[in-house]
Amino acid sequence: MTHDVFISYSHHDKSAADAVCAKLEQHGIRCWIAPRDVEPGTEWAGSIIHAINKSKIMVLVFSNSANNSPQIRKEVERAVNKGVIVVPLRIEDVVPTESLEYFMSNVHWLDALTPPLEKHLDQLAGTVKIILDRIVVHDDPIPHVAPIPSVPAVPTETESARPQPQLAPEPKISQRSRSLSRRAAPGLAGLLIIVAIVAGIYFIRNRPTAPSEAAPQFVQDRSITTSTDHVVSVAFSPDGHLLASADGGNNLYVSDLTNGSKLSFGGPFTQQPARGGESVAFSPDGNSLAAGGTDNFVRVWSLLLRLQIRTSMLHAATVESVAFSPDGLLLASASMDKTIKIWDARTFGKLNTLSGHTASVLSVAFSPDGRLIASASADKTIKLWDSATGREIRTLTGHSEEVRCVVFSPDGRTLASASQDKTVKLWDVATGNTVRTLTGHSDMVTGVAFSPDGHWLASASWDQTVKLWNVESGQQVGTLMGHAKQVNSVAFRPDGFWIASGNYDGTVILWRRTN
């Protein structure tokens, strides 16, 4: 029998597996399920292996019974080793064992935790059909972006083309001369080392001063209307071709900058705009997008499938900020409930709750090495946490009003914070001391972003401007003017040549670097 999907399940979940099979086949998706499709007279194990090998997708009906089943682990292992796409459908709120987690660490899960099961199966069928369409058409990810062109390498002369030096005949040296040379070599080597050190010190002290890097200059390139509400968060995808924005009204927008189109999250639950709201963040691999909203939920979408894949990460109040760890394994969310929650970005189970702020937590960020988490709060403080243990390391004080945003520099040594007190502060991460305070905005500062090289800082303010700063000197080097209302957020594109800023009138302005 020719089939597309292998259904893996524990015998305790046969009724759920039969319902899954019926719904998929109702949508025209060919399934293999035991014992129905085990041919009479054939070996059971051999039939299972053969069916998995011939499948494109494995739908795993995941429950506590499946989690503890050695047979299920063998089937999943076989599927992963054969390159079969695994789509787990979780029917019970169970964390996978380490054995299963090893094979499914990069798999997106679909949940069917709330009864009745049938209401979740259309979403499953839509997801499977999208994956099958991709496999049939291209067998590669949706080509929604083109690769960023890299700077071509300077061609170098090949070794074979280089003229080979002509070596003079080696002079004949007497045995006595060789002996004297060996005895003199250590003293000569020491003298040469001393000369080299002295010359190096002289060069360092007297080398000409290199001209400082020219300050970046940006011009307004275009404006994107995303919402009738104010844009509170903007983020570029890691490849720089997608721009996500949230409007504070539980709406999420994703624009393809290569062609100006807006991505729709299709399948059986088409939503454009999608429900999101207060904050957006791309996963490091660019395959997922997380958002927090005023309905207290953290949601995650698959950008390859264009489907929402998780909705049950919940706070007790509005989720103000979300951030992925650099390795993509953790997802942090900050809320008006005064907490930061850490989630497993693979299974979306809660790992930790960080408590200590006395007012709303408005921003959260991971350090570049993933070891630290920074949080900014309406209690006028910034806190640093150990991401592995959740232990509070230190509290940074100095702002006189609530702290709206916090980000790490690319090298992880500096922390930048934006505050309602109209200032930006730079902090030494190692000591917690203030390095400098940047003043110049005439209203509260709502967002900050480092350039990818860490030399420049952009700040967004309710004074309707974005300002650029030299991080080393603290000097203001530019002001981007063009917004008609308050600016709520700012982001550098990963190549450093574009800036996006979100406006209170529902637009995002893209600024292009000209030098």
Confidence (pLDDT) at 62 = 94
Confidence (pLDDT) at 193 = 53
Question: How many angstroms separate the CA atoms of 490 and 52, rounded?
Answer: 48
Confidence (pLDDT) at 444 = 97
Confidence (pLDDT) at 2 = 77
State the span(s) of the chain assigned CATH 3.40.50.10140.
Answer: 5-137
Question: How many angstroms separate the CA atoms of 121 and 7, rounded?
Answer: 13
Give average pLDDT by consecutive 10-residue segment, the chain, 515 residues: 89 91 92 91 88 93 92 90 89 84 71 83 87 63 36 38 39 43 48 51 42 80 81 93 81 85 54 58 93 87 77 87 96 96 90 97 97 97 97 97 97 97 97 96 97 96 97 96 93 96 91 93
Strand residue runs (E) in 251-338: 251-256, 274-275, 279-282, 288-292, 297-302, 307-314, 319-324, 330-335
Confidence (pLDDT) at 301 = 86
Question: How many angstroms separate the CA atoms of 91 and 464, rounded?
Answer: 49
CATH among 3.40.50.10140, 3.30.470.20, 3.40.140.80, 3.40.50.2000 for 5-137: 3.40.50.10140
CATH of domain 218-513: 2.130.10.10
Which residues, in sequence order, are bridge partners of residue 7? 59
Q: What is the pTM of this model?
A: 0.65
Please, is 160 exposed, middle or buried when counting C-beta atoms within 10 Å of its C-beta (0-12, 13-18, 19+)?
exposed
State the span(s) of the chain assigned CATH 2.130.10.10.
Answer: 218-513
Question: How many angstroms separate the CA atoms of 329 and 324, rounded?
Answer: 8
